[in-house]
Amino acid sequence: MITLALSKGRIFDDTLPLLASAGVEMLDDPQTSRKLILATSRPDLRVVLVRATDVPTYVEYGGADLGITGKDVLLEYGGSGFYQPLDLGIAKCRISVAVRKDFDYAQAVKKGSRLRVATKYVDIAREFFAKKGVHVDLIKLYGSMELAPLTGLADAIVDLVSTGNTLKANDLIEVEPIMEISSRLIVNRAAMKLKHEKIQPLIDAFNTSVSQSASNT
Ligand code: PRT
Ligand code: MG
């Protein structure tokens, strides 16, 4: 049996075409089912649904052989407890700094004042502002970062942006991109050796599908 860890939502949705390219269909639909272990058309391949931030943990400790998760999650998780053979180019977005429309970010950065930054991505934010030589007080949040500048909790946020609609709806503006994000395939180290005959063909099929979609854009 091979176990693939995915999170519900955009990563699950964007993984379906990759699985299809490897000849795999899902037999259970997470929209209608409450199951956490989903069967596929391949009796020896199953999908487990976990929180996006738990995918690396499942793969590192063998709760899953494979996983798909964002580079943002991998950077915050840290370490190298698994193989990372493929950038799948799915669930694309960027990590950016955003502030209230009426906040003078350029001036605040130039003046060398301390910036209060709320984020789920504490390590990424710390490194980014340290490189710029900007002093920051980091405030760790687990969700709804957009609310922080609106309530006076922080001057700025570091968060994921894709269309920019969420920022816009909350009167925030993106002032600086930090990095491009996409989702990666990760593989448990022991499984890569012990289940190589089953895992390698999946990696190859994903790789072919990724190069094809890359050449179509
Ligand atoms: O939602 P939950 O708390 O369960 O967990 P999660 O937010 O970690 O998971 P999920 O499924 O929302 O996101 C999984 C992964 O998708 C992330 O780790 C990213 O790698 C990737 N991804 C791609 C995104 C986005 N695009 C994205 N736009 N994840 C989140 N967003 C959010 C963003 O945080 C912001 O609130 O969508 C909002 C902005 O979207 P726009 O389109 O309005 O700019
Ligand atoms: Mg989310």
My answer on whether 9 and 39 are in the same domain is: yes
135/171 same-domain check: yes
Residues 197 and 138 in one domain: no
Are residue 19 and residue 73 in the same domain, yes or no?
Answer: yes
pLDDT at 216 over 90: no
User: What is the Cα–Cα distance from 163 to 165, expressed in whole angstroms?
Assistant: 5
Is 79 found in the same domain as 121? Answer: no
pLDDT per residue as tens digits for the range 158-191: 999 999 999 999 999 999 999 999 999 999 999 9
Q: Are residues 8 and 71 in the same domain?
A: yes
* DSSP string computed for 143-154: S-TTHHHHHTS-
Report pLDDT digits (tens) over 110-164. 887 899 999 999 999 999 999 999 999 999 999 999 999 999 999 999 999 999 9
Q: Are residues 112 and 60 in the same domain?
A: no
User: Which domain covers residue 23, as residue numbers?
Assistant: 2-91+182-215
Number of separate domains in the chain: 2
Ligand 1, atom nearest to 159 Cα: 34
* Average confidence score pLDDT of the chain: 96
% residues pLDDT > 70 (the chain): 100
Confidence of residue 53 (pLDDT cuts 50, 70, 90): very high
User: What confidence score (pLDDT) does residue 110 get?
Assistant: 87
Q: Whose CA is nearest to atom 19 of ligand 1?
A: 70
> Which CATH number fits the domain that encloses residue 107?
3.40.190.10
Pair 24, 85 in one domain: yes
User: What's residue 180's pLDDT?
Assistant: 98
- Cα dist from 78 to 5, 74, 81, 201, 204, whole Å: 18, 6, 9, 27, 26
- Measuring from atom 14 of ligand 1, which residue has the nearest CA? 52
Given this model, what pLDDT does residue 51 score?
Answer: 97
Ligand sitting nearest the alpha carbon of 72: 1
User: What percent of the chain has pLDDT above 90?
Assistant: 92
| 153 and 202 part of one domain | no
Which atom number of ligand 1 is nearest to the Cα of residue 71?
20
Residues 173 and 186 in one domain: no
- Whole-number Å distance, alpha carbon 163 to ligand 2 midpoint, is 14
Asked if residue 105 and residue 57 are part of one domain, the reply reads no
In this structure, the answer to whether residues 56 and 107 fall within a common structural domain is no
